[in-house]
Amino acid sequence: MSDDGARFLIAVTGLRAEARIAERSAGVRAVAGGGDAARLDKLVRQLAAQGGDAIISFGIAAGLAPDCSAGACVVGREVVYEDCSYSADPAWTGSIKKLIGCAELVTIAGVDRPLTCPSEKQVLYQTRGAVAADMESHVVARIAAELALPFAVLRVIADPAERALPQAAIAGMKADGGVDVGAVLASLATSPGQLSGLIRVAVEAGRARAALFRCGDLLGSGLGFRDLS
């Protein structure tokens, strides 16, 4: 438990900007993975040992279904990763769906690296039936299963299924979930043709973060996890 004995919700994100959105809700402590699954696993387990008694995967995601546009909200009913499948807590998932209203209940795919081209997204959509993918949900689901904690997934589509990610966008992601502007500029200097694609990705990511911000406000304290109230 935490020093004051209070319970709290663990919000797991990819980027620090998403973690800040999650922590606007009372009773939430957030951690950004930055694409480093081993580091994220360690940090989430530390928070669980300190009193975190539920985990939500919260942030932006890659779209896999052809009809999901940037800014679309999805709630994970299950997370699939390799040969594993994890069911999200049904009561919490239902609470999130009710509070947000427009979100679709879907299968979320966990991935170990960014999906850079549409063909990779199409394969996951066709073989696993997943509508969105991110690099944190499978870590959350695995830890929750091992520690017998409830988990949920709320994600907003940032790059739609038809969108390719320029290398500059990937280069800019730091291990702590921050953004390395220097790495982005260096990648652009090497390959200036990425600029138009990078601008498009930035615009869509901004739309997704705005939607995530609204979702956080709608969910309120504990991000829809009623046992924390």
> Residues 46-87: pLDDT tens digits?
999 999 999 999 999 999 999 889 999 999 999 999 999 999
CB count in 10 Å sphere of residue 38: 9
Q: Where exactly are the structural domains of the chain?
A: 8-163+206-228
Residue 98 has pLDDT above 90, yes or no: yes
Q: DSSP characters for 140-205?
A: HHHHHHHHT--EEEEEEEEE-TTPPPPHHHHHTB-TTS-B-HHHHHHHHHH-GGGHHHHHHHHHHH
**Which residues make beta-bridge pairs with 132?**
63, 108
Average pLDDT in the chain: 92
Residue 224 has pLDDT above 70, yes or no: yes
Residue 227 has pLDDT above 60, yes or no: no
> Residues 114-127: pLDDT tens digits?
999 999 999 999 99
In this structure, of 4-18, 88-102, 106-120, the range with the lowest mean pLDDT score is 4-18
| High-pLDDT (> 70) share of the chain, % | 96
Give the span between the Cα atoms of 15 and 173, in whole angstroms: 8
- Would you say 155 and 134 are in contact if contact means Cβ atoms under 8 Å apart? yes
Q: How confident is the model at residue 5 (pLDDT cuts 50, 70, 90)?
A: low
Pick among 3.40.50.720, 3.40.50.1820, 3.30.540.10, 3.40.50.1580: CATH of 8-163+206-228: 3.40.50.1580
Enter the pTM of the model: 0.92
> Residues 6-57: pLDDT tens digits?
789 999 999 999 999 999 999 999 999 988 999 999 999 999 999 999 999 9
Note the pLDDT of residue 169: 86
Note the pLDDT of residue 4: 54
Segment 219-223 shows an average pLDDT of: 93
The Cα-based distances of 126 to 158, 161, 213 in angstroms read: 20, 12, 30
